[in-house]
Amino acid sequence: MNRNFFSLLIGLSIFLIACAGGANSQEKKSILSGNLTGLNTGELYMIDLRKSKAGPIDTAKVDENGNFSFDFVPEQKAFYRITLSYELSLILPLGAGEAVVVKGDAADPDGLEVTGTKDAERMLAFNKMLRNVTQQQQNLNQEFGKYANHPNMDSIVNVFRQKFQTLEEEKLSTMKGMIDEDPTLFSNLAVIEQMPAELEENMVYFQKVDEALAEKYADSPYYKNFHNRVVKLSRFAVGSDVPEIDLPSPDGQNIPLSSLRGQVVLIDFWASWCKPCRRENPNVVSAYNKYKDKGFTVYGVSLDRAKNAWVSAIQQDNLTWTHVSDLKFWDSKAAKDYGVSGIPFALLIDKEGKVIGKNLRGAALHQKLEEVLN
């Protein structure tokens, strides 16, 4: 299920800084060292994020002047966490032979300095951008709260939705610029995690990072997980065929997807219990009513378990198109065949049954239908 647009990424108070070795790394004795004021602890602990429940893999003493150093040598480049305070942690990609230096005040994350590599500089800039966007979103949320009882709430919501959307678009543009600047950086694995995978236009960046890191980090579990995700996301690329679906309608009669061949079809995976799905339904209804006479229809595949809830949601949301479900929740055969792990999930296929769009929501669905049907 998609996040609500008023969800403000509060968890991004965690500070992300990636680093890698430079030309003079062999001259330094520790993989991570630094000088930090404002620390309220005499020891810092390094945690392997892949084995966070196993406890620290290294400990660094902090002297009276705030100096510390870690001498742990990773077998391969990976992400590690060093907690500085309740609000602030460093998450660092570290590899054997690399050396990172951190300086600043633990109470001032935006003032921290990380030196040594492009990776470090990239993650520092990335983190500052995230913190800035998060702060602006928090400010918008507080401002929105002042209008709780406003008589023109619908128009107020639209104004704030657009402001949030603008911030998200600016963040996305910045992340794309970072990847374009140097797609070979390991830190791009952190950058790409903030990029919405459901947007078709973002796939070129997932593929760019995948290809750029493939040779150097082929054995990295972080890269392997990312690569597997890219393979999955690329499954329904534009022009690809889709598997057949042949499930029962509410009246018990099987309706195969192929029976709609000759029309432009939105294959819509949803459920009565899925709030984001229900919020998107009015947009799909609008598109259906506007384009149904031009050769467009919808094939709704529900992941419900209870028939009554499924049928009731169809009626309540006025979904007057074809509906099917085996009422098996996430064990639905169609969901497994399509690799669906979250809903809403939708594919737009042409009259020959080939993919022409993926997860087109809101105005994007209308724009694509206007393009292919007019």
**Local confidence band at 315 (pLDDT 50, 70, 90 cut-offs):** very high
**Local confidence band at 4 (pLDDT 50, 70, 90 cut-offs):** very low
> How far, CA to CA in Å, does 162 sit from each of 13, 165, 168, 269, 368?
24, 5, 10, 26, 21
**Residue 321 forms part of a structural domain:** yes
The string over 157-192, giving b where at least 16 C-beta atoms fall within 10 Å of a residue's C-beta and e elsewhere, is: eeebeeebeebeeebbebbbebbeeebebbbbbbbb
- 117-142 pLDDT, tens digit each: 788 778 888 988 998 999 999 999 88
Q: What's this model's pTM, rounded to 2 decimal places?
A: 0.68
- Same domain? For 32 and 147 the reply is no
Domain of 303, CATH number, reads: 3.40.30.10
Domain of 66, CATH number, reads: 2.60.40.1120
- Same domain? For 369 and 255 the reply is yes
Q: Tokens in use for 217?
A: 């980090």
Q: Is the pLDDT of residue 109 over 80?
A: yes
**Residue 294 forms part of a structural domain:** yes
Overall number of domains in the chain: 3
Q: Report the range of poorest mean pLDDT among 54-63, 156-165, 314-323.
A: 156-165
As a whole number of angstroms, the distance between CA 60 and CA 102 comes to: 13
**Residue 325 forms part of a structural domain:** yes
* Mean pLDDT across the chain: 87
As a whole number of angstroms, the distance between CA 188 and CA 255 comes to: 44
Q: Is the pLDDT of residue 301 over 80?
A: yes
Provide the pLDDT for residue 156: 85
Domain boundary among 184, 204, 233: 233
Range of the domain at 149: 126-233
**Residue 342 forms part of a structural domain:** yes
Q: Residue 223, CB half-sphere, CA atoms under 13 Å: how many?
A: 22
- Same domain? For 209 and 311 the reply is no
Q: Is the pLDDT of residue 264 over 90?
A: yes
- 222-255 pLDDT, tens digit each: 999 999 989 888 888 888 899 999 999 999 999 9
- Same domain? For 191 and 275 the reply is no
> In what helix (H) or strand (E) does residue 370 lie, and over which residues does it extend?
helix 363-373
- Same domain? For 149 and 46 the reply is no
**Residue 203 forms part of a structural domain:** yes
- Same domain? For 109 and 190 the reply is no
- Same domain? For 194 and 293 the reply is no
343, 274 contact by CB (below 8 A): yes
Q: Tokens in use for 44?
A: 């810092």
Domain boundary among 233, 259, 284: 233
As a whole number of angstroms, the distance between CA 349 and CA 266 comes to: 6
Domain boundary among 81, 116, 151: 116
**Residue 284 forms part of a structural domain:** yes
- 185-207 pLDDT, tens digit each: 999 999 999 998 767 788 899 99
**Residue 266 forms part of a structural domain:** yes
Q: Is the pLDDT of residue 29 over 60?
A: no
Q: Comparing 17 with 373, which gets the higher pLDDT? A: 373
**Residue 258 forms part of a structural domain:** yes
